[in-house]
Chains A and B, each alone.
Chain A
Amino acid sequence: MILQSIKMALKSILANKMRAFLTMLGIIIGVMALVVLVSLATSATNSVSDRISQLGNDLFTVNIRDDGGKPLKMDELDELTAEETLGLVAPYLQSSGSVKQGTSTVRVSITGTNNAYFSIMSSVLAGGRLLLQPDLDNYAHVVVLSYEAAAELFENVPISEIPGQSITLDDLPYQIVGVLAENESVTSTGMESYAVYVPFTVTARTTGSSDITSFYVMATDSSQIAAAETALDLWLFTRFDGDTDAYYVQNMETLSETLSSVQDTFALLLGGIAGISLLVGGIGIMNIMLVSVTERTREIGIRKAIGATQGSIMTQFLLEAMVLCLIGCAIGIIGSGIVLLIVNMIASSGTDASSSAAATTYTLSGTVIVVSVVFSTIVGMVFGLYPAQKAARMHPIEALRYE
């Protein structure tokens, strides 16, 4: 009987294709908005949290906000390294400047740091050497270039020949000691790809302050993160005489959690807005169903005369509204797939010049497809109910007399 009713519903929808399509348009647009927006948001979230987890959860970032007249110095960080659960410690100070080499000038980000920084960032050398402790001790004007910065400054020069060359960084001469390999992690994307690394002590001197305001600490063992965090917190607590406002510790895990919860909220918000357009589509369905019930009053009368019960008339019109919604939903999902395909094509053609690895692929989110199917069914049911009831409650004689 249900199968028969679905056949009937399909038939009466097909009898009026143009009108059915226009009616469905509201649902199609609503579903497309829902699926595309949520899929975009989810894919973006996944890609960002993937990149964050590349950095590792065993990494802590410490920022000193107010040292209370007792600034943190380089040698104090050795105490931290001595802690059993803590391993590498890298102070960093970031600024920007311009590098000159021959006739070319490049804007770069300058990071003053130590040897441990490269291990923490999992940077690999392409040629030369990294920054070493003697460079820091001797305030040596040496610099390590990122792959991109080296490629920009020394076009057509093999990597192996770059170390040993001289450059001018913010009007001061530096000697290049190393070039990093192309890095696919988050630190090498966008603006930061043109990066140079100099000894921390050198940046401290050029900026006029040898205070450490931020540094990375890595746990020795990724299974000991909690213990490492406790040790770090305790050390900072003691160092700043119990002033917990003086410093701020951030773990990549908490960062990625915060980020994904923000983006979940964002997806929910987008979904909500798209849901409203689905609801509007539902009102369109109700409108057309009411017209259809009035138009087919005589048909309803005939059906009742030959033995259709209120229930079967109700089922017929309700199913018609639901089938209409579900066909719209199916078209909307297919349309969303096509839209995402186009977005991917545009995104990949736009980014492969700079870095192909950073391109995010947008995929249909399975959850949102299920949600849109369920939601469309509910919309069809809710907005089909009133017209179906109107049809079912018609008096057979009056319906038969209707002109």
Chain B
Amino acid sequence: MRKSVNNPQLNKHGELTHLLSIEGLSAPILKQILETAASFVGVAEREVKKVPLLRGKTVCNIFFENSTRTRTTFEIAAKRLSADVINLNVGTSSQSKGETILDTVDNLIAMHADMFVVRHAQSGAAHLIARHVGSDIHVINAGDGRHAHPTQGLLDVFTVRHYKPDMHNLRVAVVGDVLHSRVARSEIHALTTLGVPEVRVIAPKTLLPQEVEKLGVQVYHDMASGLKDVDVIMMLRLQNERMNGALLPSAQEYFKTYGLTQDKLALAKPDAIVMHPGPMNRGVEIDSTVADGAQSVILPQVTYGIAVRMAVMSILAGNTE
């Protein structure tokens, strides 16, 4: 294993001890997670859907920002590893930031928590906790601000690899609100690290971050050229609050230009798969006929998300010093 002094995700042996972002993780580490996840997929099909790996460990889901779906998938993953799970929904409004987060964490450590799954509206919240805890405690970033959502990125590349195993020969399009999306960032880092040669982003200029090309992507502003001959279409959720501001005229207008319909899907390769991290806005970023169509792998993404989170938790839990 390579040593890395500065990467807060790795221990002194270069092993993954926190999962904070996909940025900075090597291809071998990503592949180990994906291959371990493949071993966990079958566990859900057995009579007993549990393995005893995290028996006796306590996993705390601390959600400073609400997300029922993400919290549920982490909870199921931890329970299938036989861990005890504590869920804390901490409203950001009632919290003053910084100190209070660490106070919350310290209290849970005093109760012998072993792992924290953290969702926060501010970028860097999980990093803050990871720097604070001892080497026997592990932190997973379940989404921080606009920064990263690494397990979503991992489950997306797991799904891509499942349907399109030859990653070195793929054209992938990420479509929609890249600017506000931590999912997009994590997806792009995971795809490029695993050797996908062509990653495109398709969005209006107002929904793209400055210098997005530096992430190693090709930029398109229209669906007709952007979707041409792609193997994978990753749709992003358009958050409702973005539509009222200056960034977009209206949901209908957005759907007309960037919504994924059967007609637009026909521009991609005939065997292209359609993905979405959920929850979907039907009729805004994706048409129902596509979301429920034969090329959609949106529900398998959810299923694989459990296996990927089980893999991350068990790899982290095993990498104490």
Note whether A and B form a binding pair: no
Please report B residues at the A interface, Cβ cutoff 8 Å. Answer: none
